[in-house]
Structure 1
Amino acid sequence: MKNFKYPFMVLLGGAMYGTMSSFVKMSYTLGYNAAEISFAQALLSALFLGCIPRKTKLTRHSWISLLLTGGAIGLANFLYYQSVSYISASLAIVILMQFTWFSLLLEWIIFRQQPGKPELVTVLFILIGTVMAGDLLRDGALSISWQGIALSLAASLAYAAYIVANSRVGKCVNWQTKSTLIMAGSALTIFLVNAGTITAHNHFGATFLLWALFFSVVGTTIPTALFAVGIPKVGAGTSAILMTIEFPVAVLCAHFVLHERISPIQIAGIIIMLTAISAMNYFKSLKK
């Protein structure tokens, strides 16, 4: 049971992440928008995480690096939340999962870390699974909002940038301080990009605060703590595989909460993508 505790923490954190897109889309029916939701989520998370006691000294370079890293995840969340206002939550998560090979591409371009043949093969299967899971071959697929797909792809690229940066900055900083600064950078970036919308067209009030608390606690604060405790015990490679639970949870949540349709070919595509992503993370862990 003890050995299962830490993998369960990682699984639970990933599953909690997976529920967000459906509930964000549900909140849109109340008139809320992606800018105010993502900003409030990041700001409250920074405040919650900032209340956790810690002792650390940071250099100016560490401060800036962590804030910029937070800016990447802030953009990813905002763009992802924005995309579900144009396309289904299940399609949005399928497109977002392209971060797995985007991160390989970024490491190749920036750090000259060329992926091996096994990793390239898994990318091919991820793309095949994406077409199937996104139901992009059905009649009427061309009527899908390409603006929504573009936003999801941009979110995926920003998420990949966050993962690459997060793996390289703040390695000697405790998780409380690192998470707080990343969330602060996230909130700051979202506000700078959407200052006009947040200040002029907001719905701040008691009901909105309850939604913001839910997104902050369930979507950021608790998963961050679970990952901080569980990932060091489980290992990065295994954790990356366990965290893919976010994908099926997001699709299932969209089906049961939003009543979005899931066809057998989509289920097959999801299985192909999950298998390919797990294989990619396995090959990456072997290289390390």
Structure 2
Amino acid sequence: MKSWIYPILILIGGCCLGILSTFVKLAYGAGYTLSIVTLSQFTFGIVLLWVIFLFSPKVKLPITSILTMFAAGIPMALTGLFYYQALETLDASLAIIFLFQFVWVGSLLEWLLQKKRPSKVKLVSIAVLLAGSFLAAGIGTNGGSSFTWIGAFWGFLSSITFSLFVYLSSSAGTHLPAIQRSTLFATGSFILVLFIFPPMVVLHTPLSSDIVFYGLMLGLFGVALPPLLFSVGMPHVGSGLGTILTSAELPVAVIMSYFVLGEAVSIFQWLGVIIIFLGIMVGNRKTASGKIQANEKAAS
């Protein structure tokens, strides 16, 4: 696979995540609760992954390795739970800015765990991304109208767990086929979700056919595609640059909230979206090629 494809795959994975807040808000508007939304998402997502996995090449693993991969998927489930909890009290355009803090949390995590100090290019990129994120989220205009401390708390927690998931995506089970890695990650997430929200809650909740649509969209763009794309791209790009590329989710969330939810988006927010794309370009220009070339030399 061409080296330039790996950053693009991560970028697409970030865009997929940006779609989620819109469908979660639509599901909440239809009367569904956090438990139903989360269960439907992971149920449809895990089915999609397992159908593909059953017909794909596999590597036989000992039970300890399987359990390790399951554990590595736990931050993925926690990110969804914390973020969706934040969306119960925050507007989509405001909740995303707290999740977006993974941009600097991820680089800090890489520094602490791998002793990789952020380069000047990466620090500039992060600064540009954070500046754009405040504009894109509408801070100081209409984005702060629904602010709650509890929502901010859950949103920031989601940034920490998402940073951990991105880090694990670049390091755990890198010798496995991408579909096997992502399926094991998602299975670990699904087990945790079932533990927190037992399926019995569905029996006490009135459901209609639209939950199939919401569950399928959330499962596809939140459980199936991002882990698969990250499993392919992250080992070649690294978690530090990966967090920068994944930041594409914020402008996508703003665009979706405008066109689908009908939320007002000011000129400052559109300016923030443009700045974020510039930040992604700055971070990707040199760091990506250096990281990919280093990995290719190590593999040869």
Q: TM-score range by the shorter chain?
A: 0.7 to 0.9
1 CA distance for matches of 2:67 and 2:192? 13
In the superposition, the TM-score normalised over structure 1's length comes to: 0.82
Partner of 1:75: 78
Does residue 134 of structure 2 align to residue 134 of structure 1?
no
List aligned pairs for 1:1-288, cutoff 5 A: 13-52=13-52, 53=55, 54-138=57-141, 141=144, 144-195=147-198, 198=201, 202-203=205-206, 206-222=209-225, 231=233, 236=237, 244-282=247-285, 284-285=287-288, 286=290
2 CA distance for matches of 1:84 and 1:45? 20
Q: Which runs of 5+ in 1 are unaligned?
A: none
1:46–1:181 CA contact under 8 A, matched in 2:
no
1 CA distance for matches of 2:18 and 2:6? 19
**Residues 28 and 197 (structure 1 numbering): CA distance in 2 closer, same or farther, change over 3 Å?**
farther
The residue type equivalent to 1:33 in the other structure is T
For the aligned residues, what is the CA RMSD? 3.4
1 CA distance for matches of 2:18 and 2:95? 11
2 CA distance for matches of 1:115 and 1:147? 31
2:41–2:214 CA contact under 8 A, matched in 1:
no
**Residues 241 and 61 (structure 1 numbering): CA distance in 2 closer, same or farther, change over 3 Å?**
same
2 CA distance for matches of 1:3 and 1:281? 13
In the superposition, the TM-score normalised over structure 2's length comes to: 0.79
2:69–2:184 CA contact under 8 A, matched in 1:
yes
2 CA distance for matches of 1:34 and 1:135? 25
Q: Which shifted more, 277-286 or 150-159?
A: 277-286
Identity among equivalent positions (%) equals 30
2:86–2:155 CA contact under 8 A, matched in 1:
yes
The alignment covers a number of residue pairs equal to: 284
Alpha-carbon distance, 1:149 to partner: 2.1
Cα deviation per residue 1:119-161 (whole Å; 9 max; x = unaligned)? 2333333332233222222489476222222222111111100
The residue type equivalent to 1:255 in the other structure is Y
The residue type equivalent to 1:23 in the other structure is F
Q: Which runs of 5+ in 2 are unaligned?
A: 295-300
Q: Which shifted more, 132-141 or 146-155?
A: 132-141
**Residues 38 and 55 (structure 1 numbering): CA distance in 2 closer, same or farther, change over 3 Å?**
same
